[in-house]
Amino acid sequence: MDAFQTLTWEDAWYLAPEIVLSCFTILLIALDLLLPKRVNRNVIGWLTLAGLLVAGAFVVILMTAVNGPETDSASGTRVLLGGSYQLDDFGNLLKLAFLGASAFIVFSSLGTVRDEDVPIKGELYYLVLPAVLGAMVMASSADLITLFIGLELLSITSYILVAARKSSRISSEAAFKYVVTGGVASAFVLYGMSFLYGITGTTNVSLMRSVLASTSDQFEALLYVSFFLMIAGFAVKLALAPFHAWASDVYQGAPTPVAAFLAVVAKGAAFAMVYRIFANTFTSGGGLDGAVREDILLALSVLAAAAMIVGTVGALRQRNVKRLLALSGVANAGILLIPLSTLFANPMHESLVSEFIYFLVAYAFMNIGAFTVLTIVSRDSGNESLSGFSGLYHRAPWTAIAMTVLLCSLAGLPVTGGFFGKLFILFGTVQVHKYWLAAILLVTTVISYAVYFGLIRQMYMRSGSLDSGLRMTVPAAIVIGLCTLATLALGFLPMPILGWINDIFSVPVDLVMFQG
């Protein structure tokens, strides 16, 4: 209790992005209740988009304040609320990614989501705000309690978003599966955290690291139980094989914009939480060491390898595009886990976290673009199977070309953001001498070409059942164009972008936490 601090006005300024999202959520809930039913709910969508952009603007402003004269002199970060919340460049970069991805998803859905598909359209829009708020809390929390609160805020709102298609049996089934698996995963995470708290006597991550450095030998068995419980829970949240079975059904049943949100924002937030906990408890100069750390890092490497193999092989036989993208997300989740599993290898390769952020941004652009194209094509053809893309080049050549670029990025072909994202992680894995993991990444990437080329073949070499052009909304066209251009920009300018991330991000300063 001595370390407890009340919220001050100064803290409120540094929490401005989170406060903005909270205020917009309350206002939009009230507005949705007061608006007559005949009023188009797209106005809620536009205001949701405004809330995301305002919060993003505050994050950009605060990125300069993090390294200002008021920051912690030892770490170069801003610590708030008695050390339970930390502003640093790791959290700010991920917050920008979450807000930007959510803004793209909301904007692309304006005019494309039909009332008969999603009767609760107002809720579909404004519930994105608390979900993103939960993701932002997970990105900056320095305490297990606030981390778990952020996780549950994101999870509960995501359960409702998945069930937004109330009249669809598939959507109801998907929501039920998501609630059950999500609840079990949260229970595993919380149970593992409780063991960690029992061992260290604290929930503060930085204090936990210092305690583990001196007590890990005494509680070795409990540490194994604690961390493997958390790994199992996080593996479900991240849809890592063999805990991925729910992903295909949930993505298929959810509205396509919600599936894009789960694939990008929810997955990225879970990775933020995993990196926060594991990087701080495994860091050099404190925390876990010896056999316990090596066994846990090996388990993470095995999970990454299994996700790449199972996700890629499972996608080979998929005919439903949404399920295909879900399994593609399983494989990419394995790739995104590689930097953490190799971060504290000997020799150490610190820029792996910067490469994780680079690939996460590339993954966000190519997935949002692909899901937006799927939204338009499925609305036009009436189905989400590969056959719906048949002859797309002849009906909408520019859309087909954009989709080709996005699929090439997912496959990891030059010159796209996905190619360099995988290449950077591959080189980093080789540098730390994990050749077997690098080999699996390389082989599964080659196999994935068959997955994405099957969809490309449908667009260019098959005749479609529809002769009319594709009905494209302006917001969707803008999002597809911007995602395609961003994917190409990440491919043509990889080193300047990665260099910019490296210039503002450092593992010892922006990921490893210090007691404020």
DSSP letters along 319-383, please? Answer: -BHHHHHHHHHHHHHHHHHHHHHHTT-SS--TTHHHHHHHHHHHHHHHHHHHHHHHHHHHHHHS-
Report pLDDT digits (tens) over 82-119: 778 888 888 899 999 999 999 999 999 888 877 666 76
Domain for residue 409, yes or no?
yes
Contacts (Cβ under 8 Å, ≥6 apart) of 23:
none
Return d(Cα 267, Cα 237) in angstroms, integer.
7
Could you tell me if residue 479 is left (phi over 0), alpha (psi between -120 and 50 degrees) or otherwise beta?
alpha
**Percent of the chain topping pLDDT 70:** 90
Are 222 and 195 a contacting pair, CB within 8 Å?
yes
What local confidence, expressed as pLDDT, does residue 74 receive? 44
- CA 238 to each of CA 66, 189, 247, 304: distance values in angstroms, whole numbers, following the listed order: 29, 13, 9, 11
Return d(Cα 365, Cα 377) in angstroms, integer.
18
Report pLDDT digits (tens) over 261-307: 999 999 999 999 998 888 888 765 555 667 788 888 899 999 999 99
Torsion, Cα 399 101 241 246, to 10 degrees, reads -80
Domain for residue 3, yes or no?
no
What value does the mean pLDDT of the chain take? 86
Contacts (Cβ under 8 Å, ≥6 apart) of 59:
17, 92, 95, 96, 99
Domain enclosing residue 169, as ranges: 9-511
* pLDDT beyond 50 at 1: no
Pairwise pLDDT comparison (352 vs 157), residue with the higher score: 157
Are 283 and 344 a contacting pair, CB within 8 Å?
yes
What local confidence, expressed as pLDDT, does residue 69 receive? 45
Which range, of 56-65, 91-100, 169-178, 206-215, averages the lowest pLDDT? Answer: 206-215
Please, is 117 exposed, middle or buried when counting C-beta atoms within 10 Å of its C-beta (0-12, 13-18, 19+)?
middle
What local confidence, expressed as pLDDT, does residue 70 receive? 47
- CA 356 to each of CA 140, 256, 275, 353, 370: distance values in angstroms, whole numbers, following the listed order: 17, 26, 10, 5, 21
Domain for residue 516, yes or no?
no
In the predicted model, what is the mean pLDDT of residues 2-29? 81
Are 237 and 311 a contacting pair, CB within 8 Å?
no
Domain for residue 2, yes or no?
no
Q: Of 418, 421, 405, which is closest to residue 501 (Cα–Cα)?
A: 421
Q: What is the number of other CB atoms lying within 10 angstroms of the CB of residue 131?
A: 27
Q: Into how many domains does the chain fold?
A: 1
Please, is 401 exposed, middle or buried when counting C-beta atoms within 10 Å of its C-beta (0-12, 13-18, 19+)?
middle
Whole-model pTM: value is 0.92
Return d(Cα 412, Cα 446) in angstroms, integer.
9
Return d(Cα 193, Cα 149) in angstroms, integer.
13
**Which token pair is 453?**
């080329």
Report pLDDT digits (tens) over 389-446: 888 888 889 999 999 999 999 999 988 999 999 999 999 898 888 899 999 999 999 9
Return d(Cα 100, Cα 293) in angstroms, integer.
35
Please, is 440 exposed, middle or buried when counting C-beta atoms within 10 Å of its C-beta (0-12, 13-18, 19+)?
buried
Residue with tokens 């859905």: 109
Report pLDDT digits (tens) over 134-165: 999 999 888 899 999 999 999 999 999 998 88
* pLDDT beyond 90 at 469: no
Residues present in the chain in total: 516
* pLDDT beyond 60 at 466: no
Confidence of residue 3 (pLDDT cuts 50, 70, 90): very low
Helix, strand, or coil (residue 141): strand
